[in-house]
Amino acid sequence: MTTAVTISLNVNGERVEASVLPRLNLADFLRDHLKLTGTHVGCEHGVCGACTVRVNGDIVRSCLLLAVQMHHATVETIEGLSDSGEIADLQSAFRERNALQCGFCTPGMLMAAQDLLKQSPCPDREQIREHLSGNYCRCTGYQAIIDAIETTARARTGRLP
């Protein structure tokens, strides 16, 4: 029974059928099988947040889900959010505020930030910090990331700085 299992899911709007071993996690499935390498793999035990993706609309750790659990699920990765233009303003704010340096954490940061802005359009800095508490950044010291998210929130709600 350690044999492959057939799964059918939707990834960034496209139907995907695959045959996967049970031990394969979603992050590796996205990266190695679908070549969607924007999802990064850092700690592989749920601490760093670099592998954050959306499953059925909710952000999750793709290293803590098995690909076999994704049968009939809808998965959105950074490539999907980027291509659809959903987070174009957030990405631009990150760039302008130098909210990324090496970029390793950025896909996960953008996923978590967009999740927060969808749930609460005008978060204060403390709420932003709390929502990003599960995402590590080893370059920026976080201040610029929080600035970029705050700026995006203001712009989206028409409260320009």
Partner 1 sequence: MKASAFAYARATSVANALELLTAHGEGAKVLSGGQSLLPAMNLRLLAPDLIVDIGELAELRGIVVKEGALSIGALTRHADLLKSPEIATHAPLLTDAVAHVAHPAIRNRGTLGGSLAHADPASELPACMLTLGATIIARGPGGERRIAASEFFAGIYETALKPQELLVAVELPVTPKYSTHFFHEFARRHGDYAIVGLAAQAFVRDGRFTDLRLGFFAVGDRPLLARSAGKLVDVAITSAVLSEAFSALDEELDPLDDHQATPAMRRHLAKVLLARCVSSLLGRPDLRMGASA
Taking the complex as a whole, how short is the minimal distance between the CB of residue 19 and partner 1, in angstroms? 13
DSSP 16-85: EEEEE-TT-BHHHIIIIIS--TTS--SSSSSSS-TTEEEETTEEEEGGGSBGGGGTT-EEE-HHHHHHHT
Identity of the residue, 13 or 46, whose beta carbon is nearer to partner 1 in the bound complex: 46
Please identify which residue in 115, 127, 142, 154 interacts with partner 1, judged by CB under 8 A: 115
CA angle 41, 45, 50 (to 5 degrees): 35
The reply to whether 46 sits near partner 1 by the rule CB under 8 A is: yes
Candidates 31-39, 54-62, 77-85, 150-158 — which segment interacts with partner 1 by CB under 8 A? 54-62
The reply to whether 65 sits near partner 1 by the rule CB under 8 A is: yes
Identity of the residue, 19 or 98, whose beta carbon is nearer to partner 1 in the bound complex: 19
